[in-house]
Amino acid sequence: MGTSADTSVAINNQFGIDELDIVRLDHHSFKEAKSILYQAYLNQPTFQYLLGHGKPGYDQRVRATLRELMELHFSRGQDVIGITVNELLVAVAFIGSPNVRLRLTDQISWRMRMTLTAGLSCTRRYIDFYEQISELHPTDYHHELPLIGVHPKYQSQGVGTALLKAVEQICAENHKSTGISLDTGSARCADYYCSLGYERVGEIQIGPVTETVLFKPIRKLVRQ
């Protein structure tokens, strides 16, 4: 696994985890990171609608979509961080820099690969979703969090909160950034983000799913 340890974070030890290591990830961690994201997104309502849950090959379409999104992120040299427990990667976050916007509609090679792996209809649906969500994200200089996931075994143990705090510390280092933007199709996740200081800024309806866009202003970010 290609990582470099940044710091250690102590969390609630009632779950048997005393210390977590925050690490920066590179492309060598691709397989492990994709596995975590796959487990995190497989049952998410947004992915289920966009990628045709219930139709044959759904799990392969999820894997293909995550792979192409991750490849695009890594190819732009953007930050990826993770959390390890006893050197085991258990959570990852892909951080979108204010200086780099992926703009999926302009990524011709990405669209071609997506069409070949996830199918034309799913690719069109995903791009349409992306365009609608992009209109709700702040237009100023800010960070985005396009992909984030915690291994199911380590959920509800403080790992996600520790990961988000690490993300905030990285984003707060850029004094020009106005904050962090993200979105979710889970009402439970939206409430969780709000409990951490994120604010709801808009919603879109995609099929039966309500996707909520949230933003955490720079003044609320955790600093070292």
pLDDT digits (tens, 9 = 90+) for 170-184: 999 988 899 999 999
Q: What backbone torsions phi and psi does residue 129 show, to the nearest 5 degrees? A: -60, -45
pLDDT above 70: percentage of residues in the chain: 88
Indicate the fold that domain 17-217 takes in CATH.
Aminopeptidase (3.40.630)
Over the stretch 101-119, which tens digit does the pLDDT of each residue have?
667 777 778 888 888 888 8
- Indicate the average pLDDT of the chain: 87
Arithmetic mean of pLDDT, 141-169 = 93
User: Which element (helix H / strand E) includes 6?
Assistant: strand 3-10
Q: What backbone torsions phi and psi does residue 92 show, to the nearest 5 degrees? A: -140, 155
Arithmetic mean of pLDDT, 147-156 = 93
pTM of the model: 0.88
Q: Which carries the bigger pLDDT value, residue 195 or residue 218?
A: 195
How many other CB atoms are there within 10 angstroms of residue 106's CB atom?
9
How many other CB atoms are there within 10 angstroms of residue 102's CB atom?
19
User: What are the residues whose beta carbons fall under 8 Å from the beta carbon of 130, sequence distance 6 or more?
Assistant: 104, 105
Q: Are 120 and 41 in contact (CB under 8 A)?
A: no
Beta sheet of 19-25, edge-to-edge order: 3-10, 19-25, 80-85, 88-96, 143-150, 179-184, 209-217, 199-206
| Dist CA 169 CA 222 (whole Å) | 6
